[in-house]
Amino acid sequence: MRRREFIRNTSLATAGVTILNFPIRGKMAPSNKVVVAVMGVNSRGAYLAKSFSQLPNVEVAYICDVEAKAIQNGLAALKDAPRQPTVVHDIRKLVQQKDFDALIIATPDHWHAPAAILGVANGKHVYVEKPCGHNPYEGELLTKALHTYNKHIQMGSQRRSFPSLIEAAKQVKEGAIGNPYLGKAWYANNRKSIGFGKKVPVPSTLDFELWQGPAPRRDYQDNLVPYNWHWFWHWGTGEACNNGTHELDCCRWFMGLNYPTKVVSGGGRYAFKDDWQTPDTQLATFEFAEGKAITWEGRSCNNYPVEGSGRGFIIYGDKGSLVNLGGGDYKIFDEKNKLVKEVKSEVAADPTNPVAASGNLDLYHFDNFVKAVRGEATLTQPVDEGAKSVLLCHLANIAQRTSGSFHCDPSNGHILDNKEAAALWRRTYEKGWEPVVHTMMG
């Protein structure tokens, strides 16, 4: 099926999509069915469950969550699926099931890497949403797991699978704007205050022990679940990892960059006084040994657009510029700022949509993962590549929380000559919950 037909036959609903008219033959035959389980189905995860269930010859056999309302959301998203999924609350039990092929992860950030490692260690392929880890160390663990267990681990950087952006990246690498030396990424929203939470008894509908999982135990408070955990360092990773990952990844991809030599970050919690710990305003710069740089502007609480859009990226070269406004669109300008090429997005992006900001263009990424599981495609964003982009976000956050700047080893991104910052490379874990990648015996 051609690209435009794929999109045209796809309609996005609140929690999912409908895909029509796929042939089922050859490698798409029932004997080659891909069976998946979805962990974390409150919002994005329910959308993922619906989307994967309606890809050709894909079946959702299980959903996994620790909160009653989330489970109902997941079941509702799959109410029209041919198979009704089994609910399993504990991921440690789920991964031991032998009758599914791949684990889809859309949990809070502190669960991403531990769950992914549990998945591949138990013989499952894994699709894990961004960020692929709560801290830089977890990105390294996942990279090790990818090469240890011989299973696919795809990170949810969906733009890597957009056909239009694949073509745009190719054009930049072929010299369409000359030497691309500066990337600019941004995201803006109008998030409201989360107030000051009260320590209250854990709701009977939530298994807070399993929700915390690998994170050291903290008291429950009433402004944490379901979404505000993003803004607490203990569980979340702030706006940089929450949304900046996408555009920073595009900048790094288009410019052919890996690890930085220097990171600078400034900003803070400016818009409100409340429990929110991560920056709502952040300006970060990443310098690279190639004589190039990337900048990130995050504004969680003021959505005045840049270039008319709440999110996007620009690649500046010595012979022109490329502009993306958050979806599958792009424009190329020459050195005199004359528009020389414009590709419009097949689907309008909604930068502030927490479920599917790029709409059903995400289906290209899900489809790529399933085809890789079948042996029909190469992953567009394997986790060892995705982790490099997530590391930029982690480094910006670490700089923000410590000295404001530091230098890095360009071979691996490790922080140099700054003990305070280097101490945040990894976290402590609840005893007995530490993620471990075991060496495989021959």
Per-residue pLDDT tens digits of the chain, which is 442 residues long? 455 444 444 433 333 333 333 333 344 455 689 999 999 999 999 999 999 999 999 999 999 999 999 999 999 999 999 999 999 999 999 999 999 999 999 999 999 999 999 999 999 999 999 999 999 999 999 999 999 999 999 999 999 999 999 999 999 999 999 999 999 999 999 999 999 999 999 999 999 999 999 999 999 999 999 999 999 999 999 999 999 999 999 999 999 999 999 999 999 999 999 999 999 999 999 999 999 999 999 999 999 999 999 999 999 999 999 999 999 999 999 999 999 999 998 777 776 677 776 678 999 999 999 999 999 999 999 999 999 999 999 999 999 999 999 999 999 999 999 999 999 999 999 999 999 999 865 5
Q: What is the pLDDT of residue 370?
A: 98
Give residue for tokens 């260690």.
Answer: 121
Bridge-based pairing of strands 10-12 and 17-19 is: antiparallel
| β-strand partners of 184 | 295, 314
Residue of 436, 387, 383 whose CA lies nearest to 412: 387
Bridge-based pairing of strands 86-88 and 153-155 is: unpaired
Q: CA-to-CA distance for 293 and 349, rounded, in angstroms? A: 26
Give the largest CA-CA distance in the chain.
Answer: 63
- For 369, the 3-state DSSP assignment is helix
- For 52, the 3-state DSSP assignment is helix
Distances (CA, A) of 268 to 279, 281, 324, 407: 4, 6, 27, 21
Q: What is the pLDDT of residue 8?
A: 41
Q: What is the pLDDT of residue 390?
A: 98
Residue of 35, 45, 40 whose CA lies nearest to 125: 35
Domains of the chain, with CATH numbers? 3-159 (3.40.50.720), 160-195+221-351+383-422 (3.30.360.10)
Contact by Cβ (8 Å): 298, 230: no
The backbone region for 321, taken as left when phi is positive above 0, alpha when psi lies in -120 to 50, beta otherwise, is beta
Instruction: Enumerate residues 6+ apart whose C-beta is below 8 A from 301.
Output: 189, 190, 191, 192, 270, 271, 272, 280, 281
The backbone region for 221, taken as left when phi is positive above 0, alpha when psi lies in -120 to 50, beta otherwise, is beta
Give residue for tokens 């710990």.
Answer: 277
**Torsions phi, psi for 319 (to 5 deg):** -130, 15
Question: What are 196-201's contacts with CB under 8 Å, separation 24+?
Answer: 196/223, 196/274, 196/275, 197/221, 197/222, 197/223, 197/224, 197/275, 198/222
Bridge-based pairing of strands 320-324 and 311-317 is: antiparallel
Instruction: Enumerate residues 6+ apart whose C-beta is below 8 A from 28.
Output: 22, 56, 57
Q: What's the gap between Cα 310 and its chain centre?
A: 18
**Position 6, amino acid:** F
Give start and end residues of each alpha helix (H) in 27-176: 44-53, 68-77, 91-94, 112-121, 136-149, 163-173
Q: What is the pLDDT of residue 439?
A: 81
Distances (CA, A) of 181 to 184, 286, 291, 342: 10, 12, 7, 21
Token digits for 147? 């090469």
Q: What is the pLDDT of residue 30?
A: 53
Residue 334: HSE in the Cβ half-sphere, 13 Å Cα cutoff: 4
Residues constituting the chain:
442
Q: CA-to-CA distance for 364 and 369, rounded, in angstroms? A: 9
**Torsions phi, psi for 134 (to 5 deg):** -80, -15
**DSSP assignment, residue 206?**
B
Rg from Cα positions in the chain: 21
Other beta carbons within 10 angstroms of residue 109's beta carbon come to: 24
Question: 324-350: string of b/e by CB count within 10 Å (b at 16+)?
Answer: bbbbbbbbbbbeeeeeeeebebbbebb
Give residue for tokens 């239009």.
Answer: 164
